Amino acid sequence: MPDETALGLDVVMLSRIQFALTIMFHYLFPPLTIGLGVVLVYLEGRYLWTKEIIYEQAARFWTRLFGLNFALGVVTGVVMEFQFGTNWAAYSRFVGDVFGSALAAEGIFAFFLESGFLSLLLFGWDRVGPKTHFFATVMVALGGIFSSVWIVIANSWQQTPTGHVLREHVVGERTALRAEIIDFWAMVFNPSTIHRLTHVWLGSFVLGACFVMSISAWYLLKGRHVDFARRSFIGALMLATVSSLAQAVSGHFNAEMVAHHQPAKLAAMEGLYETKAGAPLYLFGWPNSAERRVDWGVAIPSGLSLLIHQDPSAEVPGLDQLGPVYGEPPVWITFQAYHLMVGIGTLMIGATLVAWWFYRRGTLFEQRWLLWFFVASVVLAMVANEAGWVAAETGRQPWIVYPTIVDGVATGGLRTADGVSESVHADQVLGSIIFFGVIYATLGVLWLVLLNGKIQHGPELDEGDDGETVSERRHDIGMADA
């Protein structure tokens, strides 16, 4: 009798659902704190450069919101590591050598740096001088960036594994394969690391900037803390504009990398069921895997061939050719997640450029419709980050560690169905999903309540001090350090 629930969900699917739910909730916070860390460095740097107290007040306010999001990121990240052992024991044995080194490096070089200076960032405002506090802010921002480096390296190795060999080990009464590193730097600089890392950083910067623009735009619409909100908004708008434009370039190089190393993923992203010369690039559509076509699709003719091969007549392999070798990813969800990410990214580029056009005319803060868009922009940026992760992870199925193709045969990888723990049953996983659902829903509500409270309270601005120079208000410790 198969091990599945009354709904027909087996232990593999339930374990995938559980991991997806927990990591998608967790993934709301790390990109946000990475992007917000850059904003804090900018604001404190401007404060040291201009001596205008408004920048210090802005940095203090955004630091409080940073601390809240950082705490939620740490709490929600712990659960995932337990799932590696409980639900994915076979996978953990296979990748343990690789993940062990990457996660150990993350702990040594990133998390300790980040957490070591965090207390100084949060509570050191009136205890150390401005330069010392700025140094702590830079260290925390770098810690978040370094942390993402090792996490992305570990994930990228699963997408394009290099620098390892497979060896058999005795596990109980059986033998099992394990990937062991023979070239650490080949593992670190596997073919997708740089492209994916750049994409993750830029997505984080856009999210952090949209978080600041969203709250600042809301203050402007309500007529509260106007000078503070304008300066915060413009600083974040610069970061969002540069990052979203660079993201388009990064996306192009990512697509070329995927086409070369994970062609079945690219075919799923574009709903390319049949191999075609002059393959189209879909703007949107509805993949129909039963009929092997994209319904209601609008596409740029030959656009995919031109994007990947710089030749509009080049042939792009479809799932008819790739499926028997690589296996076929779930096309609908990969296609929609990918196009949702690209669509929001394109919308963000347009919105930031329109904002600068109004700024040059001196009427940016009079455009209430545009300010309302930026109030919602943080949700769009979160959705784009999540959609990018979904496209990347569903597109590599049925593999949890992607294979190498030798003479048309996939070797050396690990299928997702083979990575699950044998001792875990479907009803147990379903029960834990319900339990985690209640816990995470409670955390989500708590996060929103605390966030709303801090936003409603606003920055600590003394009456009439907007734009006042620090020379008129510098506190004793600041004078000693300046």
The string of pLDDT tens digits covering residues 155-192 is 999 999 998 888 888 777 778 788 888 998 999 999 99
Quick check: is 465 in a domain?
A: no
Within 10 angstroms of residue 306's Cβ, the number of other Cβ atoms is 17
What tens digit of pLDDT does each residue of 225-265 get?
A: 888 899 889 989 999 999 999 999 999 999 999 999 999 99
Buried residues in 352-389 as b, exposed as e (16+ CB within 10 A): beebeeeeeeeebbebeebbebbbebbebbbebbbbbb
Q: Residue 461 has what pLDDT?
A: 64
Q: Residue 5 has what pLDDT?
A: 67
What tens digit of pLDDT does each residue of 403-440 get?
A: 888 877 888 889 999 988 888 888 888 888 999 899 99
Tell me the residue type at 225: H
Quick check: is 373 in a domain?
A: yes
Specify which residues 477 forms β-bridges with.
none
Quick check: is 463 in a domain?
A: no
Lowest-confidence range among 102-111, 296-305, 332-341, 412-421?
A: 102-111
Mean pLDDT, range 25-53, rounded to an integer: 89
Q: How confident is the model at residue 337 (pLDDT cuts 50, 70, 90)?
A: very high
Kindly write down the DSSP assignment for every residue of 271-335, as one continuous string.
T--S-EES--EEEEEEEETTTTEEEEEEEETTHHHHHHHS-TT-EE--HHHHHHHH----HHHHH
Nearest Cα to 36, choosing from 115, 145, 110?
A: 145
Q: Does position 198 have pLDDT exceeding 90, yes or no?
A: yes
Q: Residue 416 has what pLDDT?
A: 92
- 8 burial type by CB count under 10 A (0-12 exposed, 13-18 middle, 19+ buried): exposed
Quick check: is 481 in a domain?
A: no
Quick check: is 422 in a domain?
A: yes
User: 3-class DSSP state for residue 463?
Assistant: coil
Q: Residue 101 has what pLDDT?
A: 79
Q: Residue 462 has what pLDDT?
A: 58
- List, in order, residues 6 or more apart from 381 with CB less than 8 Å away: 203, 206, 207, 210, 211, 344, 348
Quick check: is 298 in a domain?
A: yes
- Residue pair 118/140 in contact by the 8 Å Cβ criterion: yes
**% of the chain at pLDDT higher than 90:** 50
Domain that holds residue 398: 11-457
Mean pLDDT, range 356-365, rounded to an integer: 93
How many separate domains does the chain show?
1
- Residue pair 163/190 in contact by the 8 Å Cβ criterion: yes
Q: Residue 72 has what pLDDT?
A: 86
Within 10 angstroms of residue 104's Cβ, the number of other Cβ atoms is 11
Q: Does position 474 have pLDDT exceeding 50, yes or no?
A: no
Q: Which helix (H) or strand (E) holds 257?
A: helix 226-261
- List, in order, residues 6 or more apart from 93 with CB less than 8 Å away: 169, 171, 176, 178
Q: Does position 108 have pLDDT exceeding 60, yes or no?
A: yes
Q: How confident is the model at residue 472 (pLDDT cuts 50, 70, 90)?
A: very low
Instruction: Quote the CA–CA distance of 126 and 481 in Å, as a whole number.
Output: 12
What tens digit of pLDDT does each residue of 308-332 get?
A: 998 999 999 999 999 888 899 999 9
Q: How confident is the model at residue 93 (pLDDT cuts 50, 70, 90)?
A: confident
Q: Residue 424 has what pLDDT?
A: 84
Quick check: is 359 in a domain?
A: yes
Quick check: is 471 in a domain?
A: no
HSE, side-chain direction, 13 A CA sphere, residue 378: 23
Mean pLDDT, range 281-309, rounded to an integer: 92
Top-confidence range, 223-232, 330-339, 470-479:
330-339
Nearest Cα to 402, choosing from 272, 282, 257?
A: 257
Lowest-confidence range among 299-303, 380-384, 455-459?
A: 455-459
Q: Residue 469 has what pLDDT?
A: 41
Buried residues in 18-32 as b, exposed as e (16+ CB within 10 A): bbeebbebbbbbbbb
Q: Across the chain, what does the average pLDDT equal?
A: 87
Lowest-confidence range among 171-175, 212-216, 367-371, 442-446?
A: 171-175
* pTM tops 0.85: yes
Buried residues in 185-216 as b, exposed as e (16+ CB within 10 A): eebbebbbbebbbbbbbbbbbbbbbbbbbbbb
User: How is residue 376 written in tokens?
Assistant: 């919602």
What tens digit of pLDDT does each residue of 394-404 get?
A: 999 999 999 88
Buried residues in 36-75 as b, exposed as e (16+ CB within 10 A): bbbbbbbbbebbeeebbbbbbbbbbbbbebbbbbbebbbe
Lowest-confidence range among 3-7, 90-94, 157-161, 254-258?
A: 3-7
Instruction: Quote the CA–CA distance of 322 and 280 in Å, as a whole number.
Output: 18
- Residue pair 443/28 in contact by the 8 Å Cβ criterion: no
CA angle 117, 124, 467 (to 5 degrees): 115
Tell me the residue type at 17: I
Mean pLDDT, range 58-77, rounded to an integer: 87
Q: Residue 479 has what pLDDT?
A: 37
What tens digit of pLDDT does each residue of 372-386 get?
A: 999 999 999 999 999
Q: Residue 85 has what pLDDT?
A: 81
Q: Residue 110 has what pLDDT?
A: 75
Instruction: Quote the CA–CA distance of 229 and 215 in Å, as a whole number.
Output: 8
Q: Does position 86 have pLDDT exceeding 80, yes or no?
A: yes
User: How is residue 317 written in tokens?
Assistant: 């392999």
- Residue pair 16/415 in contact by the 8 Å Cβ criterion: no
Q: Does position 476 have pLDDT exceeding 50, yes or no?
A: no
